[in-house]
Amino acid sequence: MPTTFLTADWKNLIMANYIIDPAILKPNLPYKTELDSYHGNVYVSLVGFMFMNTRLLGVKVPFHINFEEVNLRFYVRYNDNGHWKRGTVFIEEIVPKPAISFIANIVYHEKYVTKKMGHFFERKENEINLGYQWKHQGHWNRLEAIIENGSFPMLPGSREEFIAEHYWGYSKYNDTTTFEYNVQHPAWNVYKVKDYLINCDFTSLYGDAFLMLEKAVPDSVFVAEGSAISVLKKRKL
């Protein structure tokens, strides 16, 4: 049986989703995977959320229990002996804790970087204001949303379900090796977004290939409530 590497609560996920040219993503495509699509469109998502109650191998590491993450990710699938697994590939993941970056990069060959970060969450009578900030090259980037109070289940077959319901992670070790790991969590409820703000230097953070995101309008923005999650140990494909 696979062994759990990490457990945590992922909470208050802001997910801004852009339709993108598949050719931009193909250099980052792990071996044996292919791009996943929704109604013929390929997506890349800017995602901000909270890690809460984090445990590595069942142990809470002091000062690394609650923290922010912002990542840029896209969606793939892998044919495992006739069974399609739908997964996520990360372009880059930003956290404020260097030990998290070090462990994730060494163990899972992910692309974590460490930056100064912040967040806010303010519940009002009829709405919730929340957001994430990360400092890059002396400037604060921001991903924020105003949402209606009250979450609801995702509709089957919806774009939100496509974005959120990818239960595998894939990382590119080299041109002939991919790491796969399972991320376990229940289906999430979502909130309706009333307004949002995205101020992100996509080019300097993620490279010239993502210049088009600087002025692009997301195809959708939603907030997922989140849940307890488990990340299982990786295997090599």
Higher pLDDT, 162 or 103: 162
* Euclidean distance between CA atoms 156 and 10, whole angstroms: 22
* Euclidean distance between CA atoms 141 and 158, whole angstroms: 29
Place of tokens 């050719």: 23
pLDDT band for position 62 (cuts 50, 70, 90): low
The pLDDT assigned to 56 comes to 78
Transcribe 133-163 into DSSP letters.
EEEETTEEEEEEEEEESS-EEPPTT-HHHHH
Higher pLDDT, 147 or 55: 147
pLDDT at 103 over 80: no
The pLDDT assigned to 57 comes to 74
pLDDT at 54 over 60: yes
The CA-based angle 7-82-5, given to 5 degrees, is 15
Q: What is the CATH number of the domain that holds 151?
A: 2.40.400.10
Number of folded domains that form the chain: 1
pLDDT at 9 over 80: yes
**In which domain, by residue range, is 212 found?**
4-236
Give the pLDDT confidence of 183-203 residue by residue, as tens digits. 999 999 999 999 999 999 999
Report the side by side order of strands in the sheet with 193-199: 117-123, 127-136, 139-148, 193-199
64, 107 in Cβ contact below 8 A? Answer: no
Query: What is the pTM assigned to this prediction?
Result: 0.93
Average of pLDDT values for 53-58? Answer: 82
The pLDDT assigned to 5 comes to 83
pLDDT band for position 14 (cuts 50, 70, 90): very high
